[in-house]
A = this chain, B = another copy of it.
Amino acid sequence: MANEMKKPDPYQLSQQIGYNLRRANQRHVAIFAKHVDGLTPTQFAVLARLWECGALSQNKLGRLTAMDSATIKGVVERLRAKGLVHSSADQNDQRLRLVDLTQAGRAAFEIALDQALAARTETVERLTPDEIVAFEALLAKLI
């Protein structure tokens, strides 16, 4: 028979969704770093969430920015070291550390916002407007 030989495995790493999600994220992080001064994407996410919601406990802030408690601790600490954020004890619940933007944090976010939007534009520059809409919808459905 002609088909007796086992064909070689056609597994192609470059076509795997997981691998390409990782690469897409790497690319966006690099573009973000190029556009936004002094803030990583995760640090920017924390500022954005505080801008949206106001003061939040550290753990809740982590949940709203997709970071576990060990990760958000480091991010808040680095933002605190830059003076963009301050934290204080909650009077009603002694466990909570309320995190909030400082004046410098608000100013930094306003500057970074335009830069982050420019980064987003470069990230999707190879897609048409229709493709961007479609990609955003599929990405949201995937999460």
Q: Which residues of A contact B (CB under 8 A)?
A: 9, 11-13, 15-29, 32, 41-42, 45, 48-49, 51-52, 65-66, 113, 116, 119-120, 123-124, 126-127, 131-132, 134-136, 138-143
Contacts and interface: CB of A to CB of B under 8 A. Distances in A.
Query: Quick one: copies of this chain in the complex?
Result: 2
Contacts of A135: 17, 135, 138-139, 142
Dominant secondary structure of chain A at its interface with chain B: helix
Nearest to A142: B24
Contacts of A42: 22
Contacts of A66: 19, 22-23, 26
A9 B127 contact: no
Contacts of A11: 48, 51-52, 113
Contact of A52 (B12, B24, B65, B143): B12
B143 A138 contact: no
A18 to B, nearest CB: 5
7 contacts: A9-B51, A17-B120, A22-B66, A24-B25, A24-B139, A27-B143, A135-B135
